[in-house]
Amino acid sequence: MREVAILYDLPLGKTFAQAPPAVVGVSLTSQGWNFLLTSLLGRRYELSYEVPDRANFVLSTFQLRTDIDALLNDKEIAISNILFDGINIELEQQAERLLPVVVNRRLSFTPEYSLVDSLRVLPDSVRVVGPVSQLQNLLSWPTDSLVLEHLNQSYEGFLTLQVPEEGLRIEPQQVRVTVPVERYTEKRFFVPIEIRNAPADSIRIFPDKALLICVLGLGHYNQLTAKDFTLIANLERAQFQAGKNTVTLELERQPSFLHSVLISPRSAEFFVVQKETTQ
């Protein structure tokens, strides 16, 4: 069984809705020495078709057999079998989309270490070219699996993008991935509580400060201060129970690089202080 490569010269801006065969298997028979010599030397057979700008491209088994016979151009060689059932493939407009790269990852860390920031991918998008029907439902493009265990330092390396299905091509085929890893620690602050949506009467709150227990990477430890936070008591969401008015404390503002923040206490009591009326 020999292989015949088939090339397709498509009209500008057009592509196949489904990928046609790129190689066809052909059984050849001959008694001639010339055929035996070319078989031993591994001669490559190749056919090229100029695809007309029509709705469909049709190539029958009979036409392909005829073209291979003409390619061989040897009366001593006969085609005994051809693995090809003919094709009738629709042509579509070729399009391209720029899709974000999604890293397919599984990471684990040694104790007291974690991601200090999101993964960095360069480039962060991939250009995908192909038929409109194949592109329209794509939202992102995944990488091959990145498995890193017991991380205690940052990682940087190249990661191959998943191979596209037939009819699509991507550029580039790989990206550089950086996994920023850092040891984390704890920092504590007392932050004043700011009242939101208070009624006209004077409001007092107890306690008037709360403890923030922050978990963060060592690289941000010195730059973090109490001024980076806004802690509020929103009285529109207050709870009124018998003999006790409480409101849950909320962080209205905090740095994005924190792993977590614990507020203690989680709620505060508030009291309405009425103004004294003059006689």
pLDDT tens-digit map of 56-110: 999 999 999 999 989 888 777 788 889 999 999 999 999 999 999 999 999 999 9
Q: Which pLDDT does position 241 carry in this prediction?
A: 65
Mean pLDDT of 6-12: 93
Tokens coding 82 = 């051809």
Strand partners, 200: none
Model confidence band, residue 201 (pLDDT cutoffs 50, 70, 90): low
User: 41 pLDDT band (50/70/90 cuts)?
Assistant: very low
The single-letter code of the amino acid at 113 is Y
pTM > 0.85: yes or no: no
Residues of the chain with pLDDT > 70: what percent? 91
Q: Any idea which architecture 94-179 has in CATH?
A: Beta Complex (2.170)
DSSP one-letter string for 146-195: EEEEEE-S-EEEEEEBPPPPTT-EEE-SEEEEEE-EEEEEEEEEEEEEEE
d(CA 273, CA 210): 22
Backbone angles phi, psi at 169, to 5 degrees: -140, 150
pLDDT tens column, 225-265: 999 999 999 988 887 665 678 899 999 999 988 989 999 99
> In this predicted structure, what is the pLDDT of residue 179?
96
Where exactly are the structural domains of the chain?
2-85, 94-179, 184-273
Structure tokens at 85: 């059932």
Give the largest Cα separation in the chain, rounded.
Answer: 129
pLDDT at 273 over 80: no
Q: Give per-residue pLDDT as tens, 107-137.
A: 999 999 988 888 999 999 999 999 998 998 9
Give pLDDT, residue 38: 56
Q: Regarding predicted confidence, which is higher, 145 or 257?
A: 145
Q: What's the CATH fold of domain 184-273? A: RNA Polymerase Alpha Subunit; Chain A, domain 2 (2.170.120)
pLDDT tier for residue 275 given thresholds of 50, 70 and 90: low
Compute the Cα dihedral for 254, 260, 265, 270 and give only its sign.
positive
Q: Work out the angle at residue 260's Cα, subtended by the Cα atoms of residues 255 and 266, and round it to the nearest 5 degrees.
A: 100
For the segment 214-225, the average pLDDT, to the nearest whole number, is 92
Same fold, 94-179 and 184-273: yes
Tell me the per-residue pLDDT of 147-193, one tens digit each, with 9 for 90 and over: 999 999 999 999 999 999 888 999 999 999 999 999 999 999 999 99
Cβ-in-10-Å burial (0-12, 13-18, 19+) of 9 comes to exposed
pLDDT band at 44 (very low <50, low <70, confident <90, very high): confident
Between residues 279 and 20, the one the model is more confident about = 20
Q: Band of the pLDDT at 37, cuts 50, 70, 90?
A: very low
Q: For residue 274, name the pLDDT band (cuts at 50, 70, 90).
A: low
